[in-house]
Amino acid sequence: MNELKSLTIVVPVYNEEEVILTSAEIIYQKLMLLIKQNKISQNSEVVFVNDGSKDTTWELVSTLSQRNKQLQGINLSRNFGHQNALLAGLTSVVVTSDFIITIDADLQDDVNLIDQMVDEALAGNEIVYGVRNNRDSDTWFKKHTAETFYRLMAKMGVNIVPNHADYRLMSQRAVQELLKYQETNLFLRGVIPLLGFKTTKVYYTRQERSAGVSKYPLPKMLKFAWDGITSFSVAPIRIILLLGIITVISALLVFSYSLIEHLLGNTTSGWPSLIISIWLIGGIQLISISVIGEYIGKIFNEVKHRPRFTIQENTLEQ
């Protein structure tokens, strides 16, 4: 009889005091059910990664870990961001876990899908993506901007799974390979498909948040999307090149037209067109410099090789 595999569920949390206790109970019961069904070993656990919360989230996690050894916590020294919090959790448990699932604390991602994820992993899949089957729970704006983002990434040649966030199962080997990617500008949804390995998708309906508010407001969503684009594609720089070529061609055409009009004696006052041209070219230059500066800034962050997270306290070591 084959030895049962261990499963760790990594849950990044940031100011989730309103939902953490409920989420912990639901996830723990799911873990216990899988153990009772002999799908995973009794060494399986849930690990909450506190990403510098300003409320009582870490105190609640600490209390849970004291009462139940299968509910553990990692406390980061400050807010490092969702992606780095996930990475901290993966790094901390990869040595002891055969399978690792990542899921957000609000449980909008259906925990009942974990059964199917484990089944797919036991069948030989090393990466199992949890994919939304629709976006009906989103606002019109969020739904259409998300769809536009996925289409844009695909056109730029980025291999990304549409309607997949960070709800996934990975084998120990897949996580070990992931940790070899050392970039500071981390976009896991783009990196993980680069790993290869045998993968599959399982589908679910996203639920409404039971309590609290989203920790990804519009500014953070836009920043996340921009980081994803600039971390995996130089398409924006190529667009600037194309824009520059179009501008030069347009200028040559206008110059030719003006020269012909001058030779024909049809000279007219050109103050409005002159001002518009200056503003247009100036705006294009500012945008171009900003986009190029974004890439230079990313290079600046990468070459410093600063740690992507710092663990202040870890109940796994106790």
Q: What is the pTM of this model?
A: 0.72
Average pLDDT, integer, range 167-190: 86
Average pLDDT, integer, range 108-115: 88
Mean pLDDT (the chain, rounded): 80
Residue at 225 is within a domain: no
Residue at 173 is within a domain: yes
pLDDT at residue 284 tops 60: yes
Four-residue CA torsion sign, 243, 247, 248, 253: positive
Give the range with max mean pLDDT: 2-6, 32-36, 159-163, 300-304.
Answer: 32-36
d(CA 95, CA 148): 38
Cβ within 8 Å of residue 316, ≥6 positions away: 47, 72, 74, 92, 93
> Residues 289, 167: one domain?
no
Query: What is the maximal distance between C-alpha atoms in the chain?
Result: 96
Query: Could you tell me the residue range of the domain that residue 281 belongs to?
Result: 235-304
pLDDT at site 145 = 67
Condensed to tens digits (0 to 9), the pLDDT of residues 207-264 reads: 765 555 555 555 666 666 666 666 666 667 777 777 777 776 776 676 677 667 667 7
Number of separate domains in the chain: 2
> Residues 177, 31: one domain?
yes
> Residues 124, 252: one domain?
no
Condensed to tens digits (0 to 9), the pLDDT of residues 209-220 reads: 555 555 555 566
Can you say whether residue 9 is alpha, beta or left, with left for phi > 0 and alpha for psi between -120 and 50 degrees? beta
pLDDT at residue 166 tops 90: no
> Residues 179, 285: one domain?
no
